[in-house]
Amino acid sequence: MSEAEAETEKPNLLCVDDEKNILVSLKRLFRRDGYNIHLAESGVEGLEVLEKTKIDLIISDMRMPNMDGAEFLSRAKEKSPKTPSILLTGFSDQESTIRAINEGKISAYVSKPWEDNDIKLKVSSLLRISYLESEKERLLVLTHQQNKKLRDWNKKLEEKVEARVRELREAECMLDKAYEELTNSYDEVVKLLSHAICARENVFSRNHPELPTLACQLAEEAELSEYMVKQVYYSSLLFELGKLALPEKLIETPLKLLDVEDFEQYMNYPEIGASVLSDIANFSDAARIIEHHCEYYDGSGGPDALKGNDISIGSRILAIVKDYCLLQEGKYDGIKYTAKDARQFIYDRAGSLYDPELPKLFFNIAKRREEEIEGVEEHMLSGLRLQSDMVLSRDCINKDGLLLLRKGTVLNEAIIDKVITFEKIYSTPLQVYVRT
């Protein structure tokens, strides 16, 4: 850094007083602390300095001819509203000090004669607060830019999938509307991305809304930290993100029925999804889980043929839950497994394809869920047959895989009217499952 650049890095202090000896004392006091000191012998001169120089803090005397400190600081606040200020005042200036607080919105005041350490401490504290406020604004701008990058990415993704332009535009409208109502919560951003993924017809996770819940339950049973459970949750919602860049043929054909060339192209999807997420703050760990969720414990998976504990625990968990649903969907080898058979498939391959211990934990988790489903009597009804106080037994999803209503929602007249409206829009009844 050059000498000139180093000078500009120092905070700029403006000292205003009609007494030269006071200005000299202030300059001598603060020069030692590495500040750039600007002096003005009147309020008018002080305003001229503010016109030419970015001032970080103002110190002004109260009693000055023509323009007192209260008036000067009030006019200075108009020119530079975020610049903190300190008023130098005598014990007899209480009324003037109050006026300065009201008109000039001063940050602090110091009685004359001042105590050096006291005024230096006030200056350093105010500069620190000012810096933190400006840093907060900078981070808010950065967050806005990152969110804009995310929306831009969604738009580019839509252009790549020309066969789904109409459906993705609909999804984008829903996402934009939802986004306006959300805070900057990463949980909500993940859910929005998951909805965009489910707009692709042949991604299998759209038909398995229970997948994230099963992944989180397995992570908790494996005694992962709360943070890692959250990363497993993120990755279980977003692991098919990279499939949006693949041709339709690759994602509709069962994995074991792909030829060598198509299989190699298909296995690029974990890295594609991971590379997208790694550019988003706070998603780096989820991206690593996604990158290796197709690795198998014996090294037979991809994309890097990792083995054993070289595969992260999050990736090992996701591999189990992903294959459990993949088998039931018929996307593994063309055979649609029952939930029981899929669970047994995972259990039988503990120590080969999967971690030696995790399938044992998952066996009980999946079995409990299957028993719960068997014990629930449910009906699928159209919108016109729904009644208030009915409870959804499954997530309600439209034909494009977008989530409309969550499992457990208690229906009322307003919700039923919305369901009927959606059915009119899609020209087909929605699959609304309710429990009795």
User: Looking at the structure, do residues 386 and 429 belong to the same domain, yes or no?
Assistant: yes
Residue 150 placed within a domain = no
Q: What is the CATH number of the domain that holds 414?
A: 3.90.105
Region 405-425: mean pLDDT is: 86
Q: What is the pLDDT of residues 67-105, one digit of tens each?
A: 888 889 889 998 988 899 998 887 556 666 666 676 657
CATH number for the domain spanning 68: value is 3.40.50.2300
pLDDT of residue 98: 67
Whether 191 is in a domain gets the answer no
Report yes or no on 305 lying in a domain.
yes
Pairing of strands 432-435, 391-392: antiparallel
If asked whether residues 316 and 237 sit together in one domain, one would say yes
pLDDT category of residue 213 using cuts at 50, 70 and 90: very high
Q: Are residues 363 and 408 in the same domain?
A: no
Instruction: Check residue 168 and give its pLDDT.
Output: 58
For residue 113, cis peptide bond before it (omega within 30 degrees of 0): yes
Q: Are residues 254 and 313 in the same domain?
A: yes
Residue 173 lies in a domain: no
Q: Which two tokens stand for residue 371?
A: 């028993």
Q: Would the pTM count as exceeding 0.75?
A: no
341 versus 376: which is more confidently predicted? 341
Domains: count for the chain: 3
Query: What confidence tens digit (pLDDT) does each residue in 215-229 have?
Result: 999 999 999 999 999
Q: What is the mean pLDDT of the chain?
A: 85
> Domain boundary residue among 77, 108, 133?
133
Same domain? 395 vs 346:
no
Q: Is residue 182 part of a domain?
A: no
Judgement on whether residues 127 and 229 belong to the same structural domain of the protein:
no
- Regarding whether 129 and 116 lie in a shared domain, the answer is yes
371 and 384 share one domain? no
Do residue 316 and residue 214 come from a single domain? yes
Both 323 and 406 in one domain: the answer is no
Quote the Cα angle for 398-401-402, to 5°: 70
**Residue 347 belongs to a domain:** yes
* Same domain, yes or no: 351 and 227: yes
Domain closes at, from 109, 133, 157: 133
Write out the residue range of the structural domain in which residue 415 sits: 377-436
Dig out the tokens for 142 from the structure: 């950065």
pLDDT at 238: 93
Tell me how far apart the alpha carbons of residues 380 and 325 are, in angstroms, rounded to a whole number.
22
CATH number of the domain at 295, please: 1.10.3210.10
What separation in angstroms does the CA of 149 have from each of 83, 145, 274, 364? 32, 6, 16, 42
- Last residue of one domain, picked from the residues 113, 133, 153: 133
**Same domain (yes/no): 328, 265:** yes
